[in-house]
Structure 1
């Protein structure tokens, strides 16, 4: 594991990362989802794609990349762009899971892999809508609220909680529509966090993209690494 300090908008961001297969020439970078870290991505990909250099990154605020500043998804992309530019090699492929998919799309790499990406706003279940209403009432009454917080907000410092509230329901429809990267979408058939319908919508927005559906949920790539490898290599060879 290594760390780099990236200066951005007058602040410093410490980025924790790890490189596997360092002697390979073609590089694939992995961006994890919200509340996750690079170790989860390593679990899914470190044993496959051996002919590529792997770059695993902890996004600011997660894993070993501490953050106590409010930043937007676009800020995440700009910080990551500066980080990638500081490396002695280029990343031909960037793979992003969930929230990481939005960041990866903004980076506009030559080759983009979206793993159950976030970015399509879906109707919330009634139970979630009720929690939001109660949370707003508690906020109006200035009563501390922990019970009605999303699990994705648990353990976040105040700055990262504000980031979460900003990014959780972002609509990336127009950004996907303007994406010019060669794009592969890999999706879990039983995904409930970012339903398959979201993948189908994104695929319809990104010209020339390919959507492949695999068995599994939001973390399908942990259960089907060999199938993920087969589909990714087939796509990248075209």
Structure 2
């Protein structure tokens, strides 16, 4: 297929990733799509932003890329946090893609557990020590092993401030605003964004299709060929 006749596909990697995260998947999709792998500020070789970003800022950044490159007809693919950006941009009406592809996407409110609540209480008890070495160690333990927000622990600077801002934003009640054809692909054993989140996206986005494959949260890297086959066989 000639390059100028291919559909435009914009790919967004997950938090902590880079262009390289989706390189193998892009190779598999290049027969059908002209692929644009965007790299978020502060990831890979891209400099950090100058101020903490909220979800609307990430969506605006995506819109700006489309405008600067004169792309008016396109589809969007997002893995993990990249999917959350797509949920923001499309549910708000900012962008109107032809199709969207969500892979192990973030954006659904996690279930609270007794264990999580218990350790949040411990965090409150240790608040007086928050500026000490002990307090920092306790906070990292709670985030990484109990709340499972290890991305927060690994993040620093402006990205950490951004993480705090957008981490509590969820799209459970906005899914009905998404009316474009939607493909949802999930790793059966994903422990970061569990399968029930994919099922909730599927039930909330009218007409969407959910495909579950063996794998965990990193299926675009683990099984790029299998993920690509689903996309190529179920999109326009």
**What range is the shorter-chain TM-score in?**
0.7 to 0.9
SS class of match (1:211)? strand
RMSD: 2.3
In structure 2, relative to structure 1, the CA distance for the partners of 1:122 and 1:45 (3 Å cut) is same
Larger relative contact order, structure 1 or 2 (CA cutoff 8 Å, min sep 6): 2
- Kept in 1: contact 2:184–2:208 (CA 8 A): yes
SS class of match (2:220)? helix
Superposed displacement of residue 40, structure 1: 0.7
- Kept in 2: contact 1:37–1:63 (CA 8 A): yes
Worse overlay, 223-232 or 198-207:
223-232
| Superposed structure 1 runs of 4+ greater than 3 Å apart | 21-24, 88-91, 124-142
TM-score (norm 2): 0.82
Superposed displacement of residue 98, structure 1: 1.2
SS class of match (1:43)? helix
Structure 1 unaligned regions, length at least 5? 1-20
Superposed displacement of residue 125, structure 1: 4.9
* The one of 81, 100, 111 aligned to 1:99: 81
- Kept in 1: contact 2:24–2:221 (CA 8 A): yes
* Whole-Å separation in 2 of the counterparts to 1:42 and 1:131: 38
- Kept in 1: contact 2:175–2:204 (CA 8 A): yes
* The one of 146, 150, 154 aligned to 2:136: 146
**Residue equivalent to 1:36:** 17
In structure 2, relative to structure 1, the CA distance for the partners of 1:207 and 1:139 (3 Å cut) is same
- Greater strand fraction, Structure 1 or Structure 2: 1
- Greater helix fraction, Structure 1 or Structure 2: 2
Superposed displacement of residue 51, structure 1: 2.6
Aligned length: 217
* Whole-Å separation in 1 of the counterparts to 2:44 and 2:123: 28
- Kept in 1: contact 2:53–2:165 (CA 8 A): no
* Whole-Å separation in 2 of the counterparts to 1:208 and 1:97: 20
**Residue equivalent to 1:7:** none
In structure 2, relative to structure 1, the CA distance for the partners of 1:231 and 1:47 (3 Å cut) is closer
Superposed displacement of residue 124, structure 1: 4.2
* Whole-Å separation in 2 of the counterparts to 1:92 and 1:124: 37
Superposed displacement of residue 117, structure 1: 0.8
* CA deviation profile, 1:5-59 (whole Å, cap 9, x unmatched): xxxxxxxxxxxxxxxx965531111111122222111133334442311111111
* The one of 41, 51, 58 aligned to 2:39: 58
SS class of match (1:212)? strand
